[in-house]
Structure 1
Amino acid sequence: MEMSKQLPLDGVCVVEIGHSLAAPYAGMVLRALGADVIKIESAGSGDYARDWGPPFIDGAAALFHAVNHGKSSIAMSLSDPSQAESLRELIVRKADVVLQNLKAGGTEKYGLGADHMLALKPSLVYCNLGAFGTVGPLRDKPGYDPLAQAFSGLMSFMGQPDEALSRIPISVNDMGTGLWAAIGVLSALFRRQSTGVGEVVSVSLYETALSWGGMQIADYLASGVLPGRWGSGTAAIVPHQAFECSDSTIMVAAGNDRLFRRLCEVLQVNVLAEDSRFATNGARVSNRVELIDLLQHEFGRKTATYWLERLDEVGIPCGPIQTVDQVVVHEQTRALEILQKTEDGAATFVGLPVTFGGRRPADTGITPKLGEHNHLLTDALEETPLA
């Protein structure tokens, strides 16, 4: 089936009053789905992420290109009442959606808060992206992704039990919050089609982090036992982790009893599948350390290629642990055509992980210079005056 030339959000205008990663990531998603995204940046310095390098491309960090390509950039000082008023008028005239992740109270300070803007434009979908949520004792506390990982408990079960605490080395809560923002905005736009009325959508890094840890929290509330730290493994499935072969490390996920029996056959240790200590997943979890030691001994006898070929033959999920340089040239990555370039060829980034009719949105645009599209503000304000 051919993908329609019109993307789902064609005709939707998003004003992004954001910086760093959460709101810009949400704006990137909406832009890739067809929305026109107008990025509001601070005059002079712009989005903090412009300087989050090296590497830099055309004066801006590669990260900035990855999440801001295809947007328009308007630079202004919201502390100037006249410029804040101009932005209010732009939103009322043009915007369907506002994304904002300024510090708590920031948009209200400038007369751009959700209540005020919806009073001016009831059809507006207004999305707040915060640190700890809109209620509670920490509602005004600033926060970044590592703080959310620490405070939510995520870091408490990361890494190996005998190693120092570590964080997930990607901004999983910033990006996750951006995704929840996009989901909330899309839901609100869908409902607006029938009601004509907008609403306020609120998401936060802390709520996103709690959702990532949802299974561990549910397990703790049921058992009273704190989650362990299992390195490459997982708490509830064994064996489901990395094993060192004679030359490199591979990931093996024998996620049920049937796959475990096949794994024992491949390793030629069939007796383990019949051992009451390992016959069921629950038993394997209870006897994790002893079983992993036995399996590791067998994996260490031969090369990664040898084991991967035999595991693939019998349908056991497995794979090498690749480095990024291997990932970007792998034939599967290339087949997906998920690595995309800005239209000027300056930057390469990972595209939206969704296709429509088998085709990925490909209108990538270019990364805007700071204030490159200030004329859009003037053009909008010169149109028919507001009633």
Structure 2
Amino acid sequence: MKGALEGIRVVDLTRVLAGPYATMILGDLGADVIKVEAPGGSDDTRFWGPPFQNGMSAYYAAVNRNKRSITINLKEEKGKETIRQLVKTADVFIHNFKTGTMERLGLGYDQLSLINPKLIYCSITGFGETGPYHHLAGYDYIIQAMSGWMSINGTEQSGPLKVGVAVTDIFTGLYAAIAVQAAVIAREKTGRGQKIDLSLFDCAISTLVNVASNYLMSGEVPKPLGNDHPNIVPYSTYEASDGLFVVAVGNDRQFQALCELLEDQTIGADERFRTNASRVAHRHELNGRLNKELKKKTRAEWQQLFEQKGIPCGPVYTIHEAFQHPQTLARDMIVNMEHPYVGTLKLVGSPLKFSETAVSYRLFPPLAGEHNDHISPLNDMEE
């Protein structure tokens, strides 16, 4: 079966995480992604490690499959002209250079759309192309700090903490993949391409979702709650006799079902815990009492009991435990790709499962310039 984006060509001038994650998704869906770097390789993640496997960094391998690689010197007119020629038959052009850089190179949207009016041009920057910070570069850590994300992670004792994965890059990569596909659909109706102005900062603000809505509605500045939920109780991490697990009670019925399993029946009878709103108001006392009760059994014992009652819960796994879990394996979330120089690469599989246009793993993460002899304006444009 052909991929959903079979026949879509993407000229990819992105590096590090947000852009490469977006273009990997497009590549997984069948698009022909041409990764463009400076001679020698200018994607910094090629050198971010350890770990390395025969010279390839795990970071680079994570987000660069299903791409072909060419190297071009954009400081030379010949290199810029090569890009212009590639753009003639491209559907998508995507970059994550600082605002204004591509325009100075003669590769901005206004310039390239004259060559190909159907071109979808996606610009990924730290703060977007307007506003007082439009000129600044964007780094996930900085964006987590400035968007408020760090302020709601951790506890009042720990102070602000960043998320363990560069989530604002990932959010932006996902939004970029969505935006590009939406623009492809719009082009089918209008016959014209368009420009997408996407920023890490905007995407981080957007993905605050209910926390942002809480603030906008109440005017109260959210405090860091650790593993607690700001709107629901009990919805946190608790201690069983053999380790930590999460209980996610979403309504009053589930809470009463939980209370029926506890030795201390006074918890369910306490008026302060009857409704979610009152539980939120008395979260510290309730969580303390629940922890005392939940320490009396193992995680597996609680999970069996909770599942019988329809109470959502799950153990806190390490990354190793998560990747060894039968659910991970059953869903093909680990894939092996054979690389002629690197050997067998273990990569995270795509979560996208289609009944007709299945995701495919066609191309291993390329070496810098690996396809220079196969992709050029002279020999590739009519493929």
* TM-score normalised by the chain length of structure 2: 0.95
CA change 1:86–1:206 in 2 (3 A) is same
Aligned to 2:368: 370
CA distance in 2: counterparts of 1:237 and 1:358, whole angstroms: 39
CA distance in 2: counterparts of 1:312 and 1:82, whole angstroms: 64
Matched residue of 2:273: which SS? coil
Matched residue of 1:307: which SS? helix
CA distance in 2: counterparts of 1:158 and 1:285, whole angstroms: 18
Identify the range of structure 1 (300-309 vs 131-140) with the bigger mean alpha-carbon deviation.
Answer: 300-309
Preserved CA contact (<8 Å) 2:160 2:224:
no
| Percent identity over paired residues | 39
CA change 1:249–1:48 in 2 (3 A) is same
Q: Confirm whether residue 263 of structure 1 aligns to residue 258 of structure 2.
A: yes
1:295-314 aligned within 5 A: 295-314=290-309
CA change 1:185–1:365 in 2 (3 A) is same
CA distance in 2: counterparts of 1:88 and 1:82, whole angstroms: 10
Could you tell me which of 3, 9, 14 is aligned with 2:10?
14
Matched residue of 1:370: which SS? coil
Aligned to 2:349: 351
For residue 181 of structure 1, what is the amino acid of its counterpart? Answer: A
Matched residue of 1:128: which SS? strand
For residue 351 of structure 1, what is the amino acid of its counterpart? Answer: G
Could you tell me which of 68, 71, 84 is aligned with 2:67?
71
Q: Confirm whether residue 116 of structure 1 aligns to residue 111 of structure 2.
A: yes
Gaps of 5+ in 2: none
CA distance in 2: counterparts of 1:222 and 1:289, whole angstroms: 24
Matched residue of 1:7: which SS? coil
Matched residue of 1:20: which SS? coil
Gaps of 5+ in 1: none
For residue 236 of structure 2, what is the amino acid of its counterpart? Answer: Q
Matched residue of 1:38: which SS? strand
Matched residue of 2:202: which SS? helix
1:183-262 aligned within 5 A: 183-262=178-257
CA distance in 1: counterparts of 2:261 and 2:121, whole angstroms: 56
CA distance in 1: counterparts of 2:128 and 2:276, whole angstroms: 38
Matched residue of 1:63: which SS? helix
- Count, aligned residues: 379
Aligned to 2:133: 138
Q: Confirm whether residue 60 of structure 1 aligns to residue 62 of structure 2.
A: no
CA change 1:157–1:83 in 2 (3 A) is same
CA RMSD of aligned residues (A): 1.7
CA change 1:85–1:338 in 2 (3 A) is same
CA distance in 1: counterparts of 2:232 and 2:36, whole angstroms: 46
Could you tell me which of 349, 374, 381 is aligned with 2:378?
381
Per-residue deviation, residues 68-99 of structure 1 (Å, max 9, x unmatched): 1121111111011111111111111x211011
Q: Confirm whether residue 337 of structure 1 aligns to residue 335 of structure 2.
A: no
Per-residue deviation, residues 180-221 of structure 1 (Å, max 9, x unmatched): 011011001011112211000121110111011132122112
Preserved CA contact (<8 Å) 1:124 1:197:
yes
Q: Displacement, 1:322?
A: 0.5
Q: Displacement, 1:383?
A: 7.2
Preserved CA contact (<8 Å) 2:239 2:245:
yes
CA distance in 1: counterparts of 2:381 and 2:73, whole angstroms: 25
CA change 1:332–1:382 in 2 (3 A) is closer
For residue 353 of structure 1, what is the amino acid of its counterpart? Answer: P
Preserved CA contact (<8 Å) 1:241 1:253:
yes
Matched residue of 1:44: which SS? coil
CA distance in 2: counterparts of 1:21 and 1:383, whole angstroms: 27
CA distance in 2: counterparts of 1:59 and 1:222, whole angstroms: 51
Aligned to 1:125: 120
CA change 1:360–1:238 in 2 (3 A) is farther
Per-residue deviation, residues 336-383 of structure 1 (Å, max 9, x unmatched): 0121122436211112211111885133421211111112443x3357
CA distance in 1: counterparts of 2:27 and 2:380, whole angstroms: 24
Moved >6 Å (runs of 4+): none
Matched residue of 1:135: which SS? coil
CA distance in 1: counterparts of 2:256 and 2:263, whole angstroms: 10
Q: Confirm whether residue 160 of structure 1 aligns to residue 158 of structure 2.
A: no
